[in-house]
Structure 1
């Protein structure tokens, strides 16, 4: 794992007991996931990727079937072999509750890293434990983020409905890029705007001035996926 990258193990600001549980559903299966490995211990697979505890007790995690019964480390190692060149960054000056949802979406789209700019602590409830599988890196300022990305040849693009912002709908995003999102409400800070090589906005047609920050992040990440991801890959998950 690169220096400074956190996978959520032992570094959570929120205790495990405080994570958001799955809400009971009025339909569908009573439990998420699968039970103990059929046939008991004698039938367990001889593969170091498998977790004996999960094989014994069942795997109730929110993971795709490909990773059932795998250890956390094995899942992350496999994801690392095919992560995209997409980075995502979020400013965190007001303890924004949207950050957890952004992390969850970044995990779904297999982003290389999520960068938290500003306060190091952030609310993990919306991440639904996906921060364990997603590399998350902290930067004190937007300038620090820009310097880190510049060393890796990755341009920084801001996402905000600012005067002069380019249209996301007609923008050809670079394959290697970091998308930076501001706080819910105020948007990108002045320092963040100065650090960005360009800014772009999402077209809106209603009465509201802006859309939810986590929704904007999902739209922008999916735009990158449509332009650059291998949609025919065997590992592509469609639900």
Structure 2
């Protein structure tokens, strides 16, 4: 992995905030917006500790659900060797981890202040980091086979997000997926997410479409209707997950009954 911690180091050394806020990442968190949150100087020591921990996990990375992950992405080890990782501060909540494209390359981005927030809430940071790295590297591996759409077609983008985020959310949810009972989760969340996705796919107003593309994979976890629909559909079809993945996006949407 190619790790760039230059923004985090500027923050840790107390450099002028303008040297951080002008970075390309903050122009690309949401399309057409500059999003930057001034990092808290009081968190420097904690940020430094978390950065050291993340670097170690990156160097020794093993994905959650390695058996399923390896079956879907057999070349994942070679893919992540060239993976670009940015460790920084300044992303507003809820942008803790994401993949963004810039200059023809994809970057996995981790905001260390957001990880400090999780630490204060009592989360196991090592496990959380492993979950997030599993999630983001799943995106990179999937994008190698199914590239991100370059058109502005609403339906194409919504279908792609459902497929892409469904796999990433599933694989990073917890280890040993086959041993977890998802029945209550499916009962409480699948239908409402599926219905919202179904309704979204019928939307013709371009302004509402832009809002839906943001809402379908952002905000509160269970409100991410595209991601949750994809994830819980896959949970119900773990025995066929390779077939579904290799069948591609349109077949995936058809399997879902959309």
**TM norm structure 2:** 0.28
Greater strand fraction, Structure 1 or Structure 2: 1
Greater helix fraction, Structure 1 or Structure 2: 2
**TM norm structure 1:** 0.30
Q: Computing the radius of gyration over CA atoms, which structure comes out larger, 1 or 2?
A: 1
